A and B are shown apart, each in its own frame.
Chain A
């Protein structure tokens, strides 16, 4: 049986290795083979391979991206991570559009479930995407604007 301190420690290592160091190898080792993603980005499969593909895309779009953990709450097999994710769109975030060169900083709240083997088995999360899109100047105009 894992302790909540062990699960918090795993979350900190994940933040440092994956979000800061862009270490895909660590991601592969840390996600369970039957990992389930509940925060599914457009075109992404909700599994381990989908998560690896998504992180790889993010690191290409934002080569300087990093995260800062604000607080962690752990109970049972869950860890809640409240963090601030930041980066600069130098690689091209929007498909088919050039890189904006702009920086962003957004808060998010993530929940992970850690299995008995110490692997991340499930992830839920909500990021302040409106703030990020706004800072990158990528918020689509409201539908009315298309009609006039």
Chain B
């Protein structure tokens, strides 16, 4: 399996909520570098838990891979996430309010022997908070 196909399979597993399929693609000592993830270590179950909570918040959640760039051991995906806040995000202090989000995230995957060894990710958190009505939009928006 080419590295780019591993990442496509990972994105597809998240998109279809097939979380058991993810385990085979991550090395046991996988190291994530996502803002806010410093305290989760490399426990994929914590990330799956966060995914489940976002599915509860946005029951109609839909993700789509918009771009994929691969060079050697590294694969980058740019993914769009849309959904409606019908379930609430209590960890952000946001109740269910029917507001729609449309944000992107970019993840850099470094693979080693066909498994993900390291990831770096960024997501449009401020944009999402504004779309949820949880953060005031700056002047001019």
Q: Decide if A109 touches B134 in the complex (CB within 8 Å).
A: no
Q: Which of B17-25, B44-52, B54-62, B117-125 contacts the other chain?
A: B117-125
Q: Are A71's CB and B108's CB within 8 A?
A: yes
Q: Encode contact with A along B122-135: 1 for CB under 8 Å, 0 otherwise.
A: 11111000000111
Chain B positions within 8 Å of A42 at CB level: 137-141
A71 and B74 contact, Cβ closer than 8 Å, known pairs A80-B69, A107-B122, A140-B136:
yes
The chain A residue sitting closest to B125, CB to CB, is A130
The answer for the CA separation of A130 and B104 in the assembled complex, in Å, is 15
* Pair A111/B35 contact, Cβ less than 8 Å: no
CA A125 – CA B122 in complex, angstroms?
A: 9
| Measured CA separation A56–B111 after assembly (Å) | 38
Residues of B within 8 A of A71 (CB): 74, 108
B105-A126 in contact (CB<8A)? yes
Give the most central of A43, A80, A108, A131: most B CB within 10 Å. Answer: A80
- Tell me the bound Cα distance from A101 to B71 in angstroms: 40
Known: A80-B76, A130-B35. A111 touches B126 (CB 8 A): no
Q: How far is the CA of A133 from the CA of B125 in the complex (A)?
A: 12
With CB as the reference atom, state the residue of chain A lying closest to B74: A73
When C-beta atoms are compared, the residue in chain A nearest to B36 turns out to be A130
B90 at the binding interface (Cβ < 8 Å): no
Say whether A111 contacts B134, CB under 8 Å. no
Q: A130, B138: Cβ atoms under 8 Å?
A: no
Closest chain B CB from A63 CB (angstroms): 22
Residues of A in contact with B, size category? 20 to 34
Interface presence of B93 (CB below 8 A): yes
A sample of 28 inter-chain contacts (CB < 8 A) reads A42-B137, A42-B138, A42-B140, A42-B141, A43-B141, A71-B74, A73-B69, A73-B71, A73-B76, A80-B76, A80-B108, A82-B120, A107-B35, A107-B122, A109-B76, A111-B67, A111-B78, A124-B78, A126-B123, A126-B124, A127-B122, A128-B35, A128-B122, A130-B126, A142-B93, A142-B134, A143-B135, A143-B136
The 4 lowest CB-CB distance pairs between A and B, nearest first, are A43-B140, A126-B122, A42-B138, A42-B140
- B interface residues with partner A (beta carbon < 8 Å): 35, 67, 69-71, 74-76, 78, 93, 104-106, 108, 120-126, 133-141
**Given A73-B70, A73-B75, A143-B93, 18 new contacts (CB under 8 A):** A42-B139, A42-B140, A43-B140, A73-B69, A75-B69, A80-B106, A95-B139, A109-B76, A109-B106, A109-B120, A124-B67, A125-B106, A126-B106, A126-B123, A129-B126, A130-B125, A140-B135, A140-B136
